[in-house]
Structure 1
Amino acid sequence: MIDHERDLAHLHAATERLLTAAGSLDNAAGAEPSRLPGWTRGHVLAHVARNADALVNVLRGLPMYPDAATRDADIERDSGRPLDVQLADLRATADRFQALGAEPADWSRTVELRNGVLDSASRIPFRRWIEVELHHVDLGVGYELEDLPEEFTDRETAFLADRFAGLESVPATSLRADDGREWKTGGTSGGVAVTGPAVEILGWLAGRRDGSALETTGGPLPKLPPL
């Protein structure tokens, strides 16, 4: 069962870690490349702020973004702001999301995200937690996948495995971490077994690692669609 209140608490802690890390940068560092191709750290910070506003829209029953072009333009517009402006925006948008999350609501209702994706409102705090944690890693400021909370790693791996489940473009794939945890993903044909450290499985599923630290049997490491 999804506990949105627990996820809001985890999200708050993750946001504080991100704000602390970003606060150690200066304007020059903010303009440097992030780990995401074509994006500076400023792009990442702008995206995290705009994503908070977008998920507020979702919880209010509004479109997540007006359209893809507007989403991209807003990130580009905000990417070059001075660091103090970035941090203030991050704080304000995070606070708005947390405040809305604390309001009484029907958390069992279905809401719509980008591209017509439907989900329970109760999962939106977790989706926001994903954005904050992974984009903190993307900043390239010393916070790595290995630093992610264990609960987050386990749940995000399961979430991503489920996301790719049923895709016939991805062969049926079993995932087994060194600690014994297992997941399945992909379509119904083929049959690839992937084993390795849990953090490397997460990194591959999330597009943050190339999978070279994983071992496969039954075929090569499957190519996953972009998130």
Structure 2
Amino acid sequence: MIDHERDLASLSEATERLLTEAASWDNASVAEPSRLPGWTRGHVLAHLARNADALVNVIEGRPMYASAETREADIERDAPRPLDAQLADLRETAERFRAAAAAVPDWSRTVELRNGVTDSASRIPFRRWVEVALHHVDLDRGYELEDLPEEFVQREIDFLAERFAGHPSVPSTGIRADDGRTWTTGGGAGGASVGVSGPAPELLGWLAGRRDGSALKTEGGPLPQLPPL
């Protein structure tokens, strides 16, 4: 069962962790490349701020973004800002998200995200936690997938395995973490089933497009190529 209050607390901790790390940088660090192709760290920080505002829109019943073009333009506009402006924006948008979440009258209602995707309002805090946690790793400043909370890793693997279930380009795939946890995904591409195993952070990295899967073991076929998120 989703516990939005617990997820909001975990999100607050993750946000503070990222802000504390970023506060030690200088302006040159913001302009350096992140791990996301074509994005600087400034792009990542700008995206996180604008995503918080977008999820406030969702909570309050407005479209998440005015358009895909507007979303991209806003990130490009905000990416070159100096560190102090980036940090102030992140803090302010985190507070706006917190205030909007505190005013939610019904967490069980269905909300609309990007591209017509719908979900329970109760999942929004976790979705925001995912944005903050994975993009903290993308900043490439020493925070790695192995540093993520175990609960977070398992839940995001749960989500991604479900997301790729039945996908027409992904074969039936059994996933096994070294600690014994298992998942299944794919199944839409036909052919023989494939087994993929390894440490949970490596599995998450592969599913989330953050690692190439070379540290994973496969059985029954090559490592499936996953579609972009």
Q: Give the deviation of 1:152 after TM superposition.
A: 0.3
Look up the match of 1:65: 65
Deviation track 1:151-201 (CA, whole Å, cap 9, x = no partner) reads 100101111111111112100101000100001111242311001111100
Deviation track 1:51-82 (CA, whole Å, cap 9, x = no partner) reads 00000001111110011110000000000001
Matches within 5 A, 1:143-182: 143-182=143-182
Matches within 5 A, 1:1-227: 1-188=1-188, 189-190=190-191, 191-227=193-229
**Secondary structure at the counterpart of residue 115 of structure 1:** helix
Identity value in percent: 76
Matched to 2:206, the amino acid is W
**Secondary structure at the counterpart of residue 224 of structure 1:** coil
Tell me the TM-score normalised to structure 1 length: 0.99
Matched to 2:73, the amino acid is A
**Secondary structure at the counterpart of residue 184 of structure 2:** strand
Matched to 2:11, the amino acid is L
**Secondary structure at the counterpart of residue 127 of structure 1:** helix
Q: Give the deviation of 1:10 after TM superposition.
A: 0.3
What is the distance in 1 between the residues matched to 2:185 and 2:210?
Answer: 18
What is the distance in 1 between the residues matched to 2:131 and 2:169?
Answer: 25
What is the distance in 1 between the residues matched to 2:177 and 2:3?
Answer: 25
Q: Give the deviation of 1:103 after TM superposition.
A: 1.7
Q: Give the deviation of 1:104 after TM superposition.
A: 4.2
What is the distance in 2 between the residues matched to 1:206 and 1:14?
Answer: 18
Matched to 1:96, the amino acid is R
Q: What root-mean-square deviation, in Å, do the aligned CA atoms of Structure 1 and Structure 2 show?
A: 0.7
Q: Give the deviation of 1:33 after TM superposition.
A: 0.3
Gaps of at least 5 residues in structure 1 are none
Q: Give the deviation of 1:122 after TM superposition.
A: 0.2
Gaps of at least 5 residues in structure 2 are none
What is the distance in 2 between the residues matched to 1:62 and 1:218?
Answer: 46
Aligned residues: 227
What is the distance in 2 between the residues matched to 1:58 and 1:163?
Answer: 21
Deviation track 1:101-131 (CA, whole Å, cap 9, x = no partner) reads 1124110000010011110000000000000
Matched to 2:128, the amino acid is R
Tell me the TM-score normalised to structure 2 length: 0.98
Matched to 2:35, the amino acid is R
Matched to 2:37, the amino acid is P
